[in-house]
Homo-oligomer: A and B are copies of this chain.
Amino acid sequence: MDERARKTDVKLQGLARHLVADVNQKRNPSIAIPLRSLANVSFNERRKILELGDQKQARILFNVGMARKFMQTFLLGSACKELLEQGKTTSIRDLYYIAKHTLGDTRQNTFEEQDESDPIIEDLEVTIDALREELNLFASNKGAMVGPLTIVDSGDTIDLRRMGSGGWSVPSIVEENIVELKKSEAQFVLLVEKDAVWRRFNEDKFWQKHRCVLIHGGGQPPRGVRRMLRRLTTELKIPLYVLVDNDPWGFYIYSVVKQGSINLAYESVRMAVPQARFVGLSSFDQEKYDLPDNVTMKLKDEDERRAKQMLAYPWFQRKEWQRELQYMLKRGKKLELEALSNKRISFITEEYLPRKLKEGEGKGWLV
């Protein structure tokens, strides 16, 4: 077991020791699980991330409503301990199958469906304060990366300057023990919302000319990409620019990258990049770049609802953001990155983004 696995293992053992102590002292065994509901999530103004509060909930063994979940928590904890011991990683779907069995001669299964085991994994994460990646569990991997950077992944040295048109597929677990960041000449990181637009930037060798790490997450970036963004910005000490559609979904992607999400607030500290810079598309860009009206789309009802929600987010209270969101609502229109191709195919890489980067904060990008 490596150092990192040992640390997580110690936390899992702590949980078990606590249980044994309860039994020995003839107490009703219980564990205290931090609440993950909205009521226990708040925005830390100083750190600029979403955080979990101090509220906890007891999970008690001898309690009709809780016994099953109590059993499940320890079953999954034990399965993760085995993963750590074997040095193997797996998916949360796989873990569900690993831990599923029928109890004795009953017709009771330990888990009926995966939607029973997934929340227990999250309980386990917050209870012992370990990300699922530290429990050797991975999520889906979407996303690819290229740039003036060398990495070591599972012992293989990979030069991200020579990855062709495909790029390096960003794995779900990019913790330090698996992926190391080595020699870099990158000046910044550019996250592009869509793989198709990422490909435009790669084909035009934008990352070479502007010396940046070029990465996409296939829409809302998966955990591996978010964790990688966090590591790139903190370890290489370079800024992150986020390029998304001009619609509430694009803004939400930026918001999650920046502050974390309410559902997974406990991970923000390891994943969020509070200083992430938004380089558009801005609601003001149709006029700024003289784009015809026929490449815009009407905001849908759900878009409007989403935009109004975001107006109330604490991290969108700066007047630039209020202005941005209000103008989107006022226009009633949205705009995709691909719409810039209506000017010409490499407009986005040769004119749009270089101009925004040059204009700097306020005019070119927002924080």
4 A-B pairs with the lowest CB-CB distances in the bound complex, closest first:
A153-B164, A91-B196, A169-B169, A144-B169
Q: Are A195 and B140 in contact (CB under 8 A)?
A: yes
Give CA–CA (A98, B294) in the complex, Å. Answer: 11
**Residue in chain B with minimal CB distance to A108:** B294
Does A238 touch B at the CB level, under 8 Å? no
**Which of B109, B141, B199 makes the CB contact (< 8 A) with A91?**
B199
**Which of B97, B168, B345 makes the CB contact (< 8 A) with A342?**
B97
Residues of B within 8 A of A278 (CB): none
Does A83 touch B at the CB level, under 8 Å? yes
Q: Are B203 and A88 in contact (CB under 8 A)?
A: yes
Q: How large is the interface on A (under 10, 10 to 19, 20 to 34, 35 or more residues)?
A: 35 or more
Does A68 touch B at the CB level, under 8 Å? no
21 CB < 8 A contacts A-B: A88-B345, A90-B196, A90-B200, A93-B196, A93-B336, A94-B196, A94-B338, A97-B336, A97-B338, A97-B339, A98-B345, A101-B342, A140-B196, A153-B163, A154-B164, A154-B165, A157-B162, A163-B168, A166-B168, A168-B168, A172-B199
Give CA–CA (A310, B176) in the complex, Å. Answer: 47
Residues of B within 8 A of A167 (CB): 168-169, 171
Known contacts A138-B199, A294-B100, A345-B98: A166-B162 contact under CB 8 Å: no
Residues of B within 8 A of A166 (CB): 141, 153, 168-171
Residues of B within 8 A of A341 (CB): 90, 94, 97-98
